[in-house]
Amino acid sequence: MSSDAPQRAPDPARAAQERAVAEAFDIPGRFVAARPHGSGWINDTLLVEFDDGGRRTRWILQRINTSVFRRPEHVMENVARVTEHQRRALARRGAADADRRALRLVAARAGGFAHVDPDGGWWRAFHYIEATSTHDAVTGAAQAGAAAEAFGRFLADLADLPAPRLHETIPRFHDARARFEQLAAAASADAHGRLAGCRRELDSALAREPLVAKLERLLASGALPERVAHNDTKINNVLFDDATGEAVCVIDLDTAMPGNALYDFGDLARRAATRAPEDERDLARVRVEPALFEALVAGFLRGAGRCLADAERRELVFASQLMTLVIGMRFLADHLAGDVYFRIHRPGQNLDLARTQLALLADFEQRTPALQSIVNREIRG
Ligand code: GN1
Ligand code: MG
């Protein structure tokens, strides 16, 4: 799980706190060090080193962002159930190396899997999966296909998760109508006087209302079964094996909850059908590559196997447009609201992120006939 998080200035108080948190988990040996890890927009993630009788071991420590996840206990319950179910599926198909193929929570010494620190912060720890890396942008078709297969298999593996229904850790998370309305509300409030600087982007997003309406029609028709979805299928939520490039494990399970297959394929295509960084400022570079899209479709169908219904397969191009719009609307709404949700790294980044999504959406739309032929061909297999 390697990645390049920003360096931090030394801070003894913070170091002591991180050590105390790490020691609250059932990790054998002596704490050595902790440093920031990964590039998520939501939680704080640390890579922690322990010394276990002369052997260095590594662990992931994560503080759940409780202003985003209001019920962290629900997140923890979902993650525990999902990973346990993945392990059962891995055992059933006799997967080699099963310990690297699903996240493993570490028990807290006080019981359960969460540790609540004296400031009320919610922490959990995972076994680190050695010899793997994440990629913030896709590097080629083989990698895109491998990621898509992993997310497709995630749907298949979770398709028979026993009741009860998982918690909705963020209510209406991918509810396109709600996201559309939130954007319109943020624009009319214009709390930070930013509307004048993004009116074109706003108009362009609001003009896509027909995509929102189409999702509603599909949901109402019953063509899209509710299923346990990952709901955050960015390429950087997959660990790739350093030696083989294989997609070993899907991570970031905080939004694994009821959803549908279109959300997962669409969000994946949003990030992996283009090589452009998520916040690319040169919009001429934000283009869909048909070869990447084809690899995504093939990989996703392969991974999901028989669990997908015909209507889900047929709508993969629509899914890509929909999710690019939905996440674009969220970035734009957050820009208008004063950057309160995504932990951006520089002023204006939310607007850049919104612009790339809108540019990508326009390219998906323009290529619809060609991309749909790819889907049709892959469905016929
Ligand atoms: C957030 O945490 P991270 O970076 O994996 C967000 C996703 C967005 C994504 C956009 C809980 O994911 O929904 O698609 O940023 N997660 C949450 O990059 O809001
Ligand atoms: Mg993530």
Does residue 114 sit in the same domain as residue 238?
no
CB atoms within 10 A of CB 29: 14
322 vs 39: which has the higher pLDDT = 322
Instruction: For ligand 1, pick from 232, 279, 334, 357 the residue to mutate: most ligand atoms within 8 Å of CB.
Output: 232
Does residue 88 sit in the same domain as residue 160?
no
pLDDT, residue 2, reads: 45
- Output the DSSP codes for 204-251: HHHTTHHHHHHHHHHHHHT-S--EEE-S---GGGEEEETTT--EEEE-
Residue 375, in any domain of the structure: yes
CATH number of residue 100's parent domain: 3.30.200.20
- Does the beta carbon of 255 sit less than 6 angstroms from any atom of ligand 1? yes
CATH number of residue 191's parent domain: 3.90.1200.10
Does residue 101 sit in the same domain as residue 155?
no
What DSSP state is assigned to residue 162?
P
How many structural domains does the chain have?
2
Q: Which of 130, 163, 191 is the last residue of a domain?
A: 130
For the segment 355-374, the average pLDDT, to the nearest whole number, is 98
CB atoms within 10 A of CB 136: 14
305 vs 39: which has the higher pLDDT = 305
Single out the residue of 289, 276, 296 nearest to residue 367, CA to CA. Answer: 289
Q: Which of 97, 130, 163 is the last residue of a domain?
A: 130
Instruction: For ligand 1, pick from 1, 39, 42, 250 the residue to mutate: most ligand atoms within 8 Å of CB.
Output: 42
Does residue 100 sit in the same domain as residue 147?
no
Whether residue 3 has pLDDT greater than 50: no
* Structure-token pair, residue 190: 């214009």
Ligand nearest to the CA of 238: 2
Does residue 56 sit in the same domain as residue 187?
no
Q: Which of 69, 100, 130 is the last residue of a domain?
A: 130
State in Å: Cα 255 to ligand 1 middle: 9
3-state secondary structure (DSSP) of residue 149: helix
State in Å: Cα 236 to ligand 2 middle: 7
d(CA 287, CA 362): 9
For the segment 102-123, the average pLDDT, to the nearest whole number, is 97
State in Å: Cα 380 to ligand 2 middle: 33
335 alpha carbon, distance to own chain's centre: 20
Residue 221, in any domain of the structure: yes
58 and 48 Cβ atoms separated by less than 8 Å: yes
d(CA 35, CA 7): 8
Whether residue 7 has pLDDT greater than 90: no
Mean pLDDT of the chain: 96
Q: Ligand 1, closest atom to CA 252?
A: 5
Domain that residue 99 falls in:
12-130
* Structure-token pair, residue 255: 């939004």
**Which range among 35-44, 45-54, 142-151, 340-349 shows the weakest confidence by mean pLDDT?**
35-44
132 and 249 Cβ atoms separated by less than 8 Å: yes
3-state secondary structure (DSSP) of residue 314: helix
3-state secondary structure (DSSP) of residue 259: strand
Does residue 373 sit in the same domain as residue 229?
yes
Does residue 69 sit in the same domain as residue 183?
no
Residue 136, in any domain of the structure: no
Q: Please indicate, yes or no, whether the overall pTM of this predicted structure exceeds 0.85.
A: yes
Residue 50 pLDDT class (50, 70, 90 cuts): very high
d(CA 245, CA 243): 6
Does residue 46 sit in the same domain as residue 152?
no
d(CA 81, CA 77): 6
* Structure-token pair, residue 193: 């006087």
262 and 224 Cβ atoms separated by less than 8 Å: yes
d(CA 345, CA 315): 35
- Output the DSSP codes for 292-345: HHHHHHHHHHHHHGGGS-HHHHHTHHHHHHHHHHHHHHHHHHHHHTTS-SS--S
State in Å: Cα 252 to ligand 2 middle: 5
